[in-house]
Structure 1
Amino acid sequence: MFLPFIFNTITWEQRKLGECFNERTERSSIGELISVTMNSGVIKASDLDRKDNSSKDKSNYKKVEIGDIAYNSMRMWQGSSGESTFRGILSPAYTVLIPNKDISSTFFSYYFKLERMLEIFKVNSQGLTSDTWNLKYPTIAKIVVSVPTLKEQIQIGNFFKQLDDTIALHQKELAKYQQIKAACLEKMFVE
């Protein structure tokens, strides 16, 4: 597979993340509960195969809108972040970023998963041990990154989104064929 684009990253603008994103501080108790995972990004909490341990009182929960980037403040350095494709509410322990007009959340959702970015997030996280490291908005806002034009961000983000969609499709097909194989083996070797 080849990249359908080649960009001169030298021309990308150096900007602080605080110039790219604002923090969403709006609170709401109304909305679907969402979660942020390392592998799947932002998902509906109801899609997780685990018990709901969220607080009964959700009045302090953070509002999340479509296109926001949400991240686990204690696990950003491990890649626990993603772009939200739906509205919902999230535990106040998380941070929600609102993209500025010249920013593609899709692009940054992939950018934030790069090993070098995870290392930058790790170095900038604060706390005594890795169990308590935290990366809140005032700190992440100071991190300087290379930012392409919005057009380039959209092209790059769409390319990786298409790759993810293709991978997901093939994983579903693989699971289907594995089920067919298992069923055939069961029927073939009847005692």
Structure 2
Amino acid sequence: MKKLEKSVPVIRFKGFSEAWEQRKLNDIVKLENGYAFKSTYFSDVPSKTIVLTPGNVRIGGGFKNGKGRYYNEISEFPHKFIFQPEDIFVTLTDLTPSAQMLGYPAVVPNDGIKYLHNQRLGKLTDFKGDKFFLFQLLSTNKYHKYIAATAIGTTVKHSSIQKILQYDTSFPSFEEQKNIGIFFKQLDHTIALHQRKLDTLKLIKKGFLQQMFPNSEEKVPRLRFADFDREWEQCKLGEISDKVIEKNKESIYFETLTNSAEYGIISQREFFNKDISNEKNLNGYYIVRENDFVYNPRISNYAPVGPIKRNKLGRIGIVSPLYYVFRTFNTNQSFLEYYFDGTVWHNFMLLNGDSGARADRFAIKDLVLKEMPIPYSTLHEQEKISSFLDEITIIINLHQNKLKKLSSLKKAYLQNMFI
């Protein structure tokens, strides 16, 4: 490790001591805009031709599968708008107000699929250096701060080819670029392996959730432990829970919680990096005690009818009166939590929700919500199911923590191996 200087990074490979050269991206690379593919040729039928979108780029950089639009190859378009394997592209548009995905890079995979270059992506060409070094440079926090600061737009953030190419940075010799590129390519490969393992485990868990709870018309689940053969009953949510109406009238509690479809019950400050609630109105918020359930009517890609999650923080908090809070009895709480992690209950919501709801919220009356049918087995079988799913969840959490540590490690290396 070398002493920090203005013209060299904190951490370097042995054998390199020359100062890095300050240059603009415009001096060493070109950026090409994409093609306006006609929406009439988009298809829902899976095919080997996909138009890439900004959604194909992960926050922090990297290619994300499962996004993009299938395209009907009958349409003619210039051949140059077909990506080649290992082409690098960056996002020029981002739908998040904080621009947290704007300008980040991704590498086109070599997986036998024809990927097409649309106009919301910029392809990097004619780079006079190591492309994997360039990829990592475009993943650094310094570069992203520049992109976020120069982005335009309110709801939808945009950047331009000209603005990106004006980024002023530093470059080492080609040999040092190559060493840095190889190092990060290996690290990214390790992270990708853990991500694939995590994605596989989540799919396995999703499959069990579908198989271990019966559908509304079924009396028993499709997958069951051998010791149980009795038919399941069906009860209403209101028969195994009470709505929580306890409000924070004395202003005893100040930690506002939010219900995230992806992360569960979480501190609002931790989720948004700031307080959203108004301290003057907290006496009207509902008190959420440990193991209380919270329904959030906000719709998202993760929760098309809004999520129902359990407070497992080990402490008491408060939530907005827009949420529905309920406390269960005569049922295994983990069992019910896993049921709400599935999608069977979505059918009831879609059939009984009010029409005319806001675009970002699902509207359903409290009295109707209490009528939601819940599949109900013996407490012994409920405990058996929840214990089994707990084991899978523990493994998933271990992989998530490992992935988080690897991502933090990469972030530290990016900060110290670039200027």
TM-score of the two chains, using structure 1 as the length reference: 0.81
Is 1:66 the equivalent of 2:295?
Answer: no
Shift, 1:115, TM fit: 1.8
Q: Are the structure 2 counterparts of residues 82 and 124 from structure 1 closer, same or farther at C-alpha, using a change threshold of 3 Å?
A: same
Aligned partner of residue 272 in structure 2, secondary structure: coil
Shift, 1:39, TM fit: 1.1
Alignment equivalent of 1:90, drawn from 319, 322, 338: 319
Is 1:158 the equivalent of 2:392?
Answer: no
Q: Percent identity?
A: 26
RMSD over aligned Cα atoms: 3.1
CA distance in 2, matches of 1:70, 1:182: 34
Q: Which amino acid aligns with 1:170?
A: H
Structure 1 portions without partners, runs of 5+: none
Alignment equivalent of 2:378, drawn from 149, 163, 183: 149
Q: Are the structure 2 counterparts of residues 184 and 77 from structure 1 closer, same or farther at C-alpha, using a change threshold of 3 Å?
A: closer
Shift, 1:118, TM fit: 1.8
Residues 305, 362 of structure 2: 8 Å contact kept: no
Indicate the residue corresponding to 1:6 in structure 2: 225
Structure 2 portions without partners, runs of 5+: 1-203, 209-222
Q: Per-residue displacement from partner, 1:7-28 (whole Å, max 9, x unpaired)? A: 7586111111110111010101
Residues 306, 362 of structure 2: 8 Å contact kept: no
Q: Which amino acid aligns with 2:324?
A: T
Residues 27, 61 of structure 1: 8 Å contact kept: yes
Indicate the residue corresponding to 2:239 in structure 1: 19
Larger radius of gyration: 2
Indicate the residue corresponding to 2:368 in structure 1: 139
CA distance in 1, matches of 2:363, 2:409: 46
Further displaced range: 124-133 or 84-93: 124-133
CA distance in 1, matches of 2:372, 2:233: 13
Q: Are the structure 2 counterparts of residues 60 and 103 from structure 1 closer, same or farther at C-alpha, using a change threshold of 3 Å?
A: same
Q: Which amino acid aligns with 2:274?
A: K
Shift, 1:156, TM fit: 1.8
Indicate the residue corresponding to 2:350 in structure 1: 122
Residues 9, 148 of structure 1: 8 Å contact kept: no
The alignment of Structure 1 onto Structure 2 pairs a total of residues equal to 188
TM-score of the two chains, using structure 2 as the length reference: 0.40
Aligned partner of residue 122 in structure 1, secondary structure: helix
Q: Are the structure 2 counterparts of residues 63 and 128 from structure 1 closer, same or farther at C-alpha, using a change threshold of 3 Å?
A: same
Is 1:109 the equivalent of 2:337?
Answer: yes
- Equivalent residues in 2 for 1:164-183 (5 A)? 164-177=393-406
Q: Are the structure 2 counterparts of residues 105 and 176 from structure 1 closer, same or farther at C-alpha, using a change threshold of 3 Å?
A: same
Structure possessing the higher relative contact order (Cα contacts under 8 Å, 6 or more residues apart): 1
CA distance in 2, matches of 1:167, 1:69: 22
Q: Which amino acid aligns with 1:26?
A: E
Indicate the residue corresponding to 1:34 in structure 2: 257
Shift, 1:79, TM fit: 4.3
